[in-house]
Chains A and B, each alone.
Chain A
């Protein structure tokens, strides 16, 4: 195979992947009051990672992001279940949620809900599953 020089692709990927990650995080946090949430945020993050894989190849990205995506799926699921089971500890029905207002230095008054933790579980699971599918198919020879 001829080694091509993908300078433009690689340079743009650095920029675009960065913006994609940012947008994914934005979508993830927007979920409560605006369109967005864990699922779409996770897919967007996975898209950014796939873009990096396409531009830089397996070896480089594996070094930059040394995740085992199956473990990531498991961790996401555990977080999601734990938010449901957590309410059992407080004597509340399964999957009850609560929220409170916190004062965060930069953002000021913020409403933080346990639904966000559940969303985090969904987010990680979606990344894990998508990346497992993509990488399993792509590394199949």
Chain B
């Protein structure tokens, strides 16, 4: 049964490789990708159920004992995130044929898409730091391919920035792993955690911890390191932006969550104190950025940044409530960011511009789209009963438990700014007089609505049905507070 842990990685990998063979036969490759994503989602759901019933599944690849071989760890945290990834992927794969041009689809879109899912799932599941790096590269390589897919001028310019910054941070990642390896002599996360604990995290280890923070902070777009994010994210096709916005930064946050709940937990007044401040600055600058522009795509892209700030806040306060808040917010944010990117992409496609000043009265033409945008704006800002509310509530509760009142107030204030930034789109774009010059393309709109409705369904379910999900998420929080469980499940001695 331990092989269950590898299925979420291997299924999309095989699917992506096979898609190379018939990339020009669009009808087949579309159905094939949709079916395989469905199968993968089914398998992942089963694994999550299995892990929920029987505890984490640890796979020692190639039957090599834990610290010597690569371990894949499917615990509740990673499987929850993999399932969320697959839900987002499912919406995107049904949205893709409507939004991509035929040429883009023919040029290996589905292969890149599957490899992106492979990389993200792998990064969530792996229990080995160098393997984490490799999966980061898998997902980044796929994202490089996706970001230039189409080859427009703006894509070439933005992908250049994107590739450069990510290459640099990957280089730093390898260097940092090399440092850590020279100190503790292993790359297995459980064993690193054990050895760092034995050494009680002396000076050099804290330094390495901060270096890791910079690496993952660049990937996750935290305060001083987010400058690269907004523009490259809006350059490609909306469905690709949705995949990026929902998945890529969240892998960075997940890595921070793992590394700073498992390994570097002994010098908290240096590392975790830093997180609180960075989180505050990320919240402030991200939400200001979201207000600064009239480009609706850019508004959504900027909104990634305060969300990442919220999650970092949960890691920084370092208590069980904070961790559960981070996990809940992570799941909520992956879904709603994908929904928002898809919605904004649909609006841009239907209106023909992403400039807010050039659109008005869209609700007369596309009522359903308008109300869906309204709901997702509320979900994002955290209005009860939607999922954003529960996530933020738990996070702020965690902050108050840790006596961090200032950060809680900053979080509340930035929520207001976030609400303002998305409602601006609704008020200016959807309200107002009917623009008679637009001929509504209802058929296209219907195609866009279904995947977004699918995501919003989960978003609302997550909020309304919080009672069902919260106990599991709370247990993940407790699990993260006690890293011994993780270490023992891997290094069985």
Which A residues form the contact surface with B (CB < 8 A)? Answer: 70-71, 73-74, 77-78, 81, 84-85, 88, 92-97
Contacts and interface: CB of A to CB of B under 8 A. Distances in A.
B17 A92 contact: no
Contact of A71 (B6, B21, B63): B21
Contacts of A81: 10, 13-14, 17
Given A81-B10, A84-B10, A85-B10, A95 B18 contact: no
B20 A93 contact: no
B13 A70 contact: no
Contacts of B2: 93
Contacts of B6: 94
Contacts of A74: 17-18, 20-21
Given A93-B59, A93-B63, A77 B10 contact: no
Interface in B38-80: 59-63, 72
A96 B14 CA distance: 18
A38 to B, nearest CB: 17
B482 interface: no
Contacts of A84: 10
Given A84-B10, A85-B10, A92-B63, A70 B20 contact: yes
B353 interface: no
A71 B13 CA distance: 16
A99 B21 CA distance: 31
B3 A93 contact: yes
Given A81-B10, A81-B14, 12 more contacts: A71-B21, A73-B20, A74-B20, A81-B13, A93-B59, A93-B60, A94-B10, A94-B59, A94-B61, A94-B72, A95-B62, A96-B63
Interface residues on B, range: 10 to 19
19 contacts: A71-B20, A71-B21, A73-B20, A74-B18, A74-B20, A78-B14, A78-B17, A84-B10, A85-B10, A93-B3, A93-B59, A93-B62, A94-B3, A94-B59, A94-B62, A95-B61, A95-B62, A96-B62, A97-B62
Contacts, number: 40
Given A88-B3, A93-B3, A94-B6, A77 B17 contact: yes
B29 to A, nearest CB: 13
Interface of B: 2-3, 6, 10, 13-14, 17-18, 20-21, 59-63, 72
A81 B20 CA distance: 15
Contacts of A71: 20-21
B61 A93 contact: yes
Nearest to B70: A95
Choose among A78, A81, A84, A95 the residue with the greatest number of B CB atoms under 10 Å from its CB. Answer: A95
A84 B20 CA distance: 20
A77 B118 CA distance: 14
A97 B64 CA distance: 11
Nearest to A80: B17
A92 B2 CA distance: 9
Contacts of B59: 93-94
Contacts of A96: 62-63
A68 B10 CA distance: 25
A126 to B, nearest CB: 15
Contacts of A94: 3, 6, 10, 59, 61-62, 72
Contacts of A77: 17
Contacts of A85: 10, 14
Contacts of A70: 20
Contacts of A92: 63
